[in-house]
Structure 1
């Protein structure tokens, strides 16, 4: 039985932010959390990353409670620690010290070894007119594709 690959995206991040630099980080999870992720029961909507005591944490990431988890089940929106090496953490910390930059989770996936990984990006917030421009470009591309398919 072949399992479908897990690839959960944060579509809102590419709309709201201009993504500059990306990193792949491991996540510290409990047993019921990884089981829920393998079932595809996770969401990156409204998630963000922040530094606490020199460690990078992802906040507000929703991982649904595991159906078969008993009293061992996890809290759905708890903070989870991200695993990166020191040089990457230093670069990210330096980037977030600058005004207007933040760290946003972009994609959650399970690698070939079966470990959950989170792709995070240093991002700069888009202005309202940039968002309108993105929507216009997307609509233009869609209409061009329709014309060439006929």
Structure 2
């Protein structure tokens, strides 16, 4: 049975934040979690990353319990460790020290080796007027595309 490629996006992240640097990180999972992700049963809504003892963790990521998991199942919203090299961790930690910056998971996918990866971005929160401006740009782009298709 061939499953569709997994590509779970955090659409809210690009709307609420201005993304500066992106990094691809591995993620530490249990057996039932990776099975749920392969079925596409995960969500990045309201997720964020934080540092604890020099390690990067993702909080509030929802991975649905695996249907056939029985007593081995995982809790859906537990904290999960992200795997990056030391240089990337230092850059991210230095970036979060600046006012207004945070680390946000943008996308989760499964690579060609079958490993789950998370794309995290160093992001700065947008103001309300920035959000309106990005919506206006999106509408203008859509209108221009319609004009050229005629």
TM-score, normalising length: structure 2: 0.98
In the other structure, the counterpart of 2:107 is 107
In the other structure, the counterpart of 1:15 is 15
- Aligned-partner Cα distance in 2 for 1:146–1:128: 28
What's the CA shift string for 1:38-87, capped at 9, x where partnerless? Answer: 00000000000000111100000000000111011000000000000111
How far does residue 2 in structure 1 lie from its aligned partner after superposition? 3.4
Q: Which 5+ residue runs of structure 2 have no aligned equivalent?
A: none
Aligned residues: 150
**Structure 1 residue matching 2:104: 3-state secondary structure:** strand
- Aligned-partner Cα distance in 1 for 2:46–2:87: 27
Q: Which 5+ residue runs of structure 1 have no aligned equivalent?
A: none
In the other structure, the counterpart of 2:86 is 86
In the other structure, the counterpart of 2:98 is 98
1:45 maps onto 2:45 in alignment: yes
**Structure 2 residue matching 1:104: 3-state secondary structure:** strand
**Structure 1 residue matching 2:13: 3-state secondary structure:** helix
**Structure 2 residue matching 1:74: 3-state secondary structure:** coil
1:148 maps onto 2:148 in alignment: yes
1:63-82 correspondence to structure 2 within 5 Å: 63-82=63-82
How far does residue 3 in structure 1 lie from its aligned partner after superposition? 2.6
The 4+ residue runs of structure 1 with deviation greater than 4 A are none
In the other structure, the counterpart of 1:32 is 32
**Structure 2 residue matching 1:71: 3-state secondary structure:** helix
- Aligned-partner Cα distance in 2 for 1:47–1:141: 29
Q: RMSD of the alignment, in Å?
A: 0.7
